[in-house]
């Protein structure tokens, strides 16, 4: 489950709350594209902005729609008690795995972070992926912290922040020595994915894979067979999209992309986060023909 | 209300939730010490770690116990909809003012931050203090953002992060020119309070003032009459406590201090935040005679 392409869909939202039907359709599309797993309620899926009840609802919808494809549910929250509620709800809904972030308000000590994962693991009956994302959680995981956390039997993967080669591959090498063999190491930050996969990352925890699964699957398969030319060709096609993500935040960009592609009715962000200004949306809209070409190229190359 | 000493108490917590009786007793003690206002449900009061219902309960208890002393209620949350719920509950409970932080998970644009304050102000019928605390919210307020937010008629104070002189007084000077005359400028970060008040800050939003109100009141009064010698004498007595706060986090340190002083039964922090290790508690315990001396000095000097 924690290998290959793990695709993170948006959670469609309406004024009434989570749009379960919309989420089901998006998840079915990911299954059809051949993703290895689905990461529901990741950062892309608005997890910190949804209530415990909304998150339970979204987990049920995603898992029900995914069929045999494993679904990893994001359970992070500011308090351990809310995380435990999310763990229980995800497991009741049939989650195959949990994505565990440690959200912060007060800065946490390394000991508090490790103890948090111990507490969550003790409650988990399914495998855990550790969510290392300092850009949103402001927790700086050291290799030593990862070593201690990955020693917990429930922990089976680490979702690392993207970075250019060789910084990323250096870290990968250090962590390989520090964590058990059955703990996979993954990359997030789509722009870094190709090089990271070619450099030995086991899994791509992908934002765009949740909205544009075809090129993400194609890039992952190309990297797995060591085809750097094909990886670079797909990455070059997607680079302008990743530039918009870097400039405006991938959370906002993919929420708009989902609307432009007809996958959701409304831009799935919650205040204080706002939809993008029209000028930025126009930049994104201008990329659609290029994105369609990427999908078409992929279909031509990889059609069964 | 947004002048002088604004004292921020801990919110006593038990396994059952907020200890309203305990909070009432702490607030009554602050009233007796002559604080100018009480900041309930600040960072010191665990606001990000409490449910909406717990926060409404704590607001009612604090306001009821404060009598004629104005109570400012912290209403920040990760979503605007939760903030609005907290605003409504605080106003229903009789809050004299609101302390508004913009919590973040996804990094926010300057425009989103300003729009957030516009949305909150539109819902507020009582004065607002803007909570500028990049160490916990990761929002970097520029002077230009403060200018735009302080132009909202509900905004009447800004709680600024502490910094040494002249960095703090330079910022104070720049903001004085940028914000309306009826918007007061306050300092947080207790170790910086004396110099900041002597340098022109209107109000000290004080962590230790919520647990050790006597020396905090004395320091504030000394600064208001320009008595630098007395300010320095009190600050020197308290410096070892502030050093512990810098080392271990004031949230954890005052939660323990409240227990050591017999104000609360349990250490009022919630997981993933943990109580301090015994060695750190021993360091704090060793300061108690010195703290008692500070209070005694103050009583001798300022007894009516």
In this predicted structure, the answer to whether residue B295 has a pLDDT above a threshold of 90 is: no
Residues of chain A numbered 21-40 and touching chain B (CB < 8 Å)? none
List the binding residues of B for pyruvate: 44
Indicate yes or no: CB of A135 within 8 angstroms of CB of B105. no
Residue B301 has pLDDT above 60, yes or no: no
Q: Dump pLDDT digits (tens) for B228-285.
A: 999 999 999 999 999 999 999 999 999 999 999 999 999 999 999 999 999 999 999 9
Q: How far is A34 from chain B (nearest CA, A)?
A: 29
Residue % of chain A over a pLDDT of 90:
94
User: Tell me: the pLDDT tens digits for A15-55?
Assistant: 889 999 999 999 999 999 999 999 999 999 999 999 999 99
Long-range contacts of B249-254 (CB under 8 A, 24+ apart): B249/A106, B249/A107, B250/B44, B250/B190, B250/B207, B250/B208, B251/A106, B251/B43, B251/B44, B251/B46, B252/B276, B253/B284, B254/B10, B254/B44, B254/B207, B254/B208, B254/B210, B254/B211
Can you list the domains of chain B with their CATH numbers? 4-225 (3.20.20.70)
What is the model's pLDDT at position A304? 44
Q: Do B272 and A108 touch (CB under 8 A)?
A: yes
Residues of chain B numbered 157-216 and touching chain A (CB < 8 Å): none
Asked whether residue A145 carries a pLDDT value surpassing 70, the answer given is yes
B80-119 pLDDT, tens digit per residue, is: 999 999 999 999 999 999 999 999 999 999 999 999 999 9
pLDDT at position A296 is 63
Q: Which residues of B touch A272 (CB under 8 A)?
A: 79-80, 102, 104, 108, 112-113, 115-116, 119
Interface predicted TM-score (ipTM) = 0.96
Q: What is the per-residue pLDDT across A97-135, written as a single tens digit (0 to 9) for each?
A: 999 999 999 999 999 999 999 999 999 999 999 999 999
Identify which of B49, B108, B274 has the shortest CB distance to residue A272. Answer: B108
For every residue of chain A, DSSP letters joined together read --SEEEE-----EETTEE-HHHHHHHHHHHHHHT-SEEEETSTTTTGGGS-HHHHHHHHHHHHHHHTTS-EEEE---SSHHHHHHHHHHHHHHT-SEEEE----SSPPPHHHHHHHHHHHHHH-SS-EEEE--HHHH-----HHHHHHHHTSTTEEEEEEPP--TTHHHHHHHHHHHHS-TT-EEEE-SGGGHHHHHHTT-SEEEESGGGT-HHHHHHHHHHHHTT-HHHHHHHHHHHHHHHHHHHHH-HHHHHHHHHHHTTS-SS----TTS-PPPHHHHHHHHHTHHHHHHHHHHHHHHH--
Phi-psi region of A72 (alpha: psi -120 to 50; beta: other; left: phi over 0): beta
pLDDT value at position B94? 98
> Does any CB of chain B come closer than 8 Å to the CB of residue A44?
no
* Nearest chain A Cα distance for residue B144, angstroms: 19
Say what the pLDDT of residue B191 is.
96
pLDDT tier at A293, thresholds 50, 70, 90? confident
Is any Cβ of chain B less than 8 angstroms from the Cβ of A108? yes
Asked if residue B203 has pLDDT above 50, the reply is yes
The pLDDT, as a whole number, for residue B303 is: 46
pLDDT band at B304 (very low <50, low <70, confident <90, very high): very low
Task: Dump pLDDT digits (tens) for A227-242.
Answer: 999 999 999 999 999 9
pLDDT single digits (tens) B15-26: 889 999 999 999
Grade residue A164 by pLDDT with cuts at 50, 70 and 90: very high
Residues of chain A contacting B81 with CB distance shorter than 8 Å: 270-271
Q: Is B112 on the interface with A (CB under 8 A)?
A: yes
Put simply, whether A79 touches B (Cβ < 8 Å) is yes
Closest CA–CA distance from residue A221 to any residue of chain B (Å): 30
pLDDT value for B294: 74
The answer to whether B79 contacts A271, with C-beta atoms less than 8 Å apart, is yes
Annotated binding site of B: 44
User: Active-site residue among A47, A49, A105, A159?
Assistant: A159
C-alpha to C-alpha distance for B125 and A144, rounded to whole angstroms: 50
Positive or negative CA dihedral for B15, B45, B78, A122? negative
Mean pLDDT, chain B, rounded, equals 96
Kindly state the average pLDDT of the residues B176-194: 97
Structural contact between residues B11 and B58, judged by C-beta atoms closer than 8 angstroms: yes
Three-state DSSP string of chain B: CCCEEEECCCCCEECCEECHHHHHHHHHHHHHHCCCEEEECCCCCCHHHCCHHHHHHHHHHHHHHHCCCCEEEECCCCCHHHHHHHHHHHHHHCCCEEEECCCCCCCCCHHHHHHHHHHHHHHCCCCEEEECCHHHHCCCCCHHHHHHHHCCCCEEEEEECCCCCCHHHHHHHHHHHHCCCCCEEEECCHHHHHHHHHCCCCEEEECHHHCCHHHHHHHHHHHHCCCHHHHHHHHHHHHHHHHHHHHHCHHHHHHHHHHHCCCCCCCCCCCCCCCCCHHHHHHHHHCHHHHHHHHHHHHHHHCC
**Residue A138 touches partner B, C-beta closer than 8 Å:** yes
- Predicted pLDDT of residue B299: 57
Q: What is the arithmetic mean of pLDDT over B119-140?
A: 97
The pLDDT value recorded for residue A303 is 46
CA distance B79 to chain A (A): 6
Show which residues of B are catalytic. 131, 159
User: A239 CB near a chain B CB, below 8 Å?
Assistant: no
């Amino acid at each position: 489950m924690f290998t290959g392409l793990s695709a993170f869909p948006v959670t469609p939202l309406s004024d009434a709350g989570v749009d379960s039907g919309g989420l089901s359709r998006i998840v079915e599309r990911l299954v059809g594209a051949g993703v290895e797993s689905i990461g529901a309620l990741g950062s892309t899926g608005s997890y910190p902005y949804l209530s415990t009840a909304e998150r339970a609802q979204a987990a049920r919808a995603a898992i029900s729609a995914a069929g045999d494809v494993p679904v990893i549910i994001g359970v992070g929250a500011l308090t351990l008690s809310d995380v435990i509620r999310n763990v229980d709800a995800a497991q009741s809904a049939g989650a195959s795995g949990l994505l565990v972030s440690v959200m912060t308000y007060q800065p946490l000590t390394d000991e508090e972070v490790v103890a948090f994962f111990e507490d969550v693991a003790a409650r988990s009956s399914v495998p855990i992926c550790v969510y290392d994302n300092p850009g949103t959680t402001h927790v700086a995981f050291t290799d030593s912290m990862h070593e201690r956390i990955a020693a917990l039997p429930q922990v089976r993967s680490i979702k690392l922040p993207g970075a250019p080669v060789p910084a990323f591959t250096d870290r990968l090498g250090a962590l390989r020595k520090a964590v058990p063999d059955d703990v996979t190491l993954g990359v997030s930050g789509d722009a870094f994915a190709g090089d990271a996969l070619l450099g030995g990352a086991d899994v791509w925890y992908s934002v765009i894979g949740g909205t544009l699964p075809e090129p993400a699957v194609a890039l992952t398969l190309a990297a797995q067979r060591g085809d750097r030319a094909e990886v670079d060709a797909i990455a070059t096609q997607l680079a302008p999209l990743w530039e918009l993500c870097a400039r405006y935040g991938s959370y906002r960009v993919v929420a708009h992309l989902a609307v432009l592609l007809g996958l959701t009715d409304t831009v799935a962000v919650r205040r204080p986060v706002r939809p993008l200004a029209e000028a930025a949306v126009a930049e994104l809209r201008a990329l659609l023909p290029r994105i369609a070409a990427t999908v078409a190229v992929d279909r031509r190359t990889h059609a069964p």
